[in-house]
C-alpha cells in the first residue's frame, strides 16, 4: 500500500519506490530506500512528516504516494 494510506505511528518497511528515475534518486537522497524502516509522525491535508534513519522528513502527498510499504 502507498505510504499515504498507512496508519500514523506505525513503523513500516519500505517495499518499493515507484516513479521516474529523478523521483527515485530524490527519495533515495532523503534515505527512503527499499528495506528501510519509516514511521509517520504527523499528517495534515495529505502531507506527511515521517521519521526515517533518525531524521524527520516532510513529504507532499504526491511523493508519499510513490513510496510503497
Q: What is the pLDDT of residue 46?
A: 80
Secondary element (H or E) of residue 22? helix 21-29
Strand order across the beta sheet in which 11-13 lies: 11-13, 37-44, 47-52, 55-59
pLDDT along the chain (69 residues), means of 10: 90 94 93 93 91 93 92
Domains annotated for the chain, with CATH where assigned, are: 3-68 (2.30.30.90)
For residue 19, give the 3-state DSSP assignment: coil
Secondary element (H or E) of residue 29? helix 21-29
Give the integer Cα–Cα distance in Å for 39 and 50.
Answer: 6
Q: What is the pLDDT of residue 45?
A: 85
Amino acid at each position: 500500500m502507498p505510504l499515504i494510506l498507512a496508519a500514523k505511528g506505525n513503523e513500516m518497511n519500505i517495499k518499493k519506490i515507484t516513479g521516474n528515475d529523478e523521483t527515485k534518486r530524490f527519495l533515495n537522497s532523503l534515505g527512503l530506500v527499499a528495506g528501510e524502516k519509516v514511521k509517520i509522525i504527523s499528517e495534515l491535508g495529505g502531507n506527511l512528516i515521517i521519521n526515517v534513519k533518525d531524521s524527520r522528513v516532510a513529504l507532499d502527498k504526491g511523493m508519499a504516494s510513490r513510496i510503497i510499504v
